[in-house]
């Protein structure tokens, strides 16, 4: 039995709080694979969970951290053996099953992905759920016919984790990319990632969105939801494809059927949480090879495990840029 340091989220009288604690690794949630965690990361969902801003934890107490990379210590499943480098993201991790903000994690073998040989444990968490989701969005959009020659692809929430990686992926594949951002001051950063057009979020008039606006976008990776998704739906070109990924601006959106039946617009729902394992492995393989972002180092900062509690507020306030990796064991 080993005592391990974890960052655990608790609820008391409907109030959520999170803090470092020590626990026995045997008290972690059950699973066949015990992993020594090297790195985790921070996604918007982690910030919602740790601050209680979004009531997304389904089991209290819960060790936070929806992502982790590390090395297998023990395995009761023949697919993994001690010493294997692995990645685990999504499923119930960090919201209903003890997650990656811990020196060790115990996981069902069905949730564990072997680390592609082209990636380091650090690369895997620089990508994390954000990279996986951006890549899943691009893969699904291209399966639906999106090609660089169709026109411009827009990425909303551009400076965030999913947004930064999506811009890098799309521009690396030859797309002309527009970046919609609330941070006009990050124009240089967004252009370095490959965006060719920067649109200030404040310049979008959400007060009167018509069923069909001027057609502008062949593809859209949407991290905002809410009225921005309504605006995107109305602004797509013929046969345009939207990947609906996030909700930082809101859960609800209004639209009419006009974009769908008069322009053949396709709205794809992207759920990184429960992608079937064959597709999950394929997307990770592509992230490590032909979809590998070219500017991962540039968009990633690494923080120490100790710095975790102070890092969440910036995500809730929409102030972050790029990806944040948490060095747990390192």
Ligand X SMILES: NC(=O)c1ccc[n+]([C@@H]2O[C@H](COP(=O)([O-])OP(=O)(O)OC[C@H]3O[C@@H](n4cnc5c(N)ncnc54)[C@H](OP(=O)(O)O)[C@@H]3O)[C@@H](O)[C@H]2O)c1
Residue 40 and residue 79 in contact, taking contact as beta carbons nearer than 8 Å: no
Rule CB under 6 A: is residue 275 a binding residue for ligand X?
no
Task: Please report how close the Cβ of residue 137 comes to ligand X at its closest, in angstroms.
Answer: 8
Strand pairing report for 266-269 and 236-244: parallel
In this structure, what is the dihedral angle of CA atoms 17, 21, 27, 30, given to the nearest 10 degrees?
A: 60
C-alpha to C-alpha distance for 242 and 219, rounded to whole angstroms = 6
Question: Looking at 75, 181, 235, 241, which residue binds ligand X (CB under 6 A)?
Answer: 181
By CB under 6 A, which span of 9-17, 91-99, 167-175, 269-277 interacts with ligand X? 269-277
Binding mask 95-134 for ligand X (x = CB under 6 A): ----------------------------------xx--x-
C-alpha to C-alpha distance for 88 and 180, rounded to whole angstroms = 30
For the range 53-56, what are the long-range contacts, defined as Cβ-Cβ under 8 Å and sequence gap of 24 or more?
53/316, 55/16, 56/95
Question: Looking at 64, 246, 259, 293, which residue binds ligand X (CB under 6 A)?
Answer: 246
C-alpha to C-alpha distance for 293 and 288, rounded to whole angstroms = 9
Q: Of 284 and 315, which CB lies nearer to ligand X in the complex structure?
A: 315
Q: Of 215 and 273, which CB lies nearer to ligand X in the complex structure?
A: 273
Task: Please report how close the Cβ of residue 284 comes to ligand X at its closest, in angstroms.
Answer: 14
Rule CB under 6 A: is residue 224 a binding residue for ligand X?
yes
Rule CB under 6 A: is residue 249 a binding residue for ligand X?
yes
Strand pairing report for 300-304 and 323-327: parallel
Rule CB under 6 A: is residue 140 a binding residue for ligand X?
no
Task: Please report how close the Cβ of residue 319 comes to ligand X at its closest, in angstroms.
Answer: 7
Give the number of other Cβ atoms within 10 Å of residue 19's Cβ: 11
Rule CB under 6 A: is residue 280 a binding residue for ligand X?
no
Q: Of 181 and 237, which CB lies nearer to ligand X in the complex structure?
A: 181
Rule CB under 6 A: is residue 158 a binding residue for ligand X?
yes
Q: Of 237 and 324, which CB lies nearer to ligand X in the complex structure?
A: 324
Q: Of 138 and 224, which CB lies nearer to ligand X in the complex structure?
A: 224
Task: Please report how close the Cβ of residue 130 comes to ligand X at its closest, in angstroms.
Answer: 5
Rule CB under 6 A: is residue 270 a binding residue for ligand X?
yes
Binding mask 284-303 for ligand X (x = CB under 6 A): --------------------
Rule CB under 6 A: is residue 199 a binding residue for ligand X?
no
Residue 241 and residue 141 in contact, taking contact as beta carbons nearer than 8 Å: yes
Rule CB under 6 A: is residue 325 a binding residue for ligand X?
no
Residue 172 and residue 155 in contact, taking contact as beta carbons nearer than 8 Å: no
Question: Looking at 40, 75, 152, 159, which residue binds ligand X (CB under 6 A)?
Answer: 159
Rule CB under 6 A: is residue 162 a binding residue for ligand X?
yes
Rule CB under 6 A: is residue 201 a binding residue for ligand X?
yes
C-beta nearest to ligand X: residue: 160
Rule CB under 6 A: is residue 243 a binding residue for ligand X?
no
Strand pairing report for 217-222 and 197-200: unpaired
Rule CB under 6 A: is residue 87 a binding residue for ligand X?
no
Rule CB under 6 A: is residue 43 a binding residue for ligand X?
yes
Footprint on this chain of ligand X (rule: CB under 6 A) = 43-45, 129-130, 133, 157-163, 181-183, 201, 223-224, 245-249, 270-273, 315, 318, 320
């Amino acid at each position: 039995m080993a005592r391990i340091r974890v960052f655990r989220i608790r609820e008391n009288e409907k109030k959520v709080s999170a803090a470092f604690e020590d626990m026995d690794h045997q008290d972690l949630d059950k699973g066949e694979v015990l992993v020594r965690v090297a790195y985790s990361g921070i996604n918007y969902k982690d910030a919602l969970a740790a601050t209680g801003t979004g009531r997304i934890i389904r089991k209290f107490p819960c060790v936070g951290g929806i992502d982790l990379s590390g090395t297998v210590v023990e395995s009761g499943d023949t697919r993994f053996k001690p010493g294997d480098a692995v990645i685990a993201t999504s499923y119930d991790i960090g919201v209903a099953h003890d997650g990656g903000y811990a020196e060790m994690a115990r996981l069902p073998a069905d949730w564990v992905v072997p680390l592609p040989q082209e990636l380091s444990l650090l690369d895997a968490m620089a990508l994390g759920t954000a990279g996986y989701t951006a890549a899943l969005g691009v893969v699904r959009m291209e399966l639906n016919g999106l090609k660089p020659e169709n026109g411009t692809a827009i990425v909303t929430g551009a400076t965030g984790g999913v947004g930064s990686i999506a811009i890098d992926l799309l521009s690396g594949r030859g797309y002309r990319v527009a970046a919609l951002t609330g941070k006009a001051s990050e124009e240089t950063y967004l252009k370095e990632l490959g965006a060719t057009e920067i649109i200030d979020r404040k310049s979008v008039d959400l007060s009167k969105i018509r069923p069909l606006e001027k057609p502008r976008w062949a593809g859209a990776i949407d991290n905002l939801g809410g009225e921005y998704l309504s605006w995107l739906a109305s602004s797509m070109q013929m046969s345009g494809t939207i990947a609906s990924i996030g909700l930082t601006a809101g859960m609800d959106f209004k639209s009419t059927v006009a974009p769908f039946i008069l322009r053949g617009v396709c709205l794809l729902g992207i759920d990184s949480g429960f992608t079937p394992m064959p597709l999950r492995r394929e997307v990770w393989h592509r992230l490590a090879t032909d979809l590998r972002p070219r500017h991962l180092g540039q968009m990633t900062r690494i923080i120490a495990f100790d710095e975790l509690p102070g890092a969440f507020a910036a995500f809730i306030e929409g102030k972050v840029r790029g990806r944040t990796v948490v060095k747990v064991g390192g």
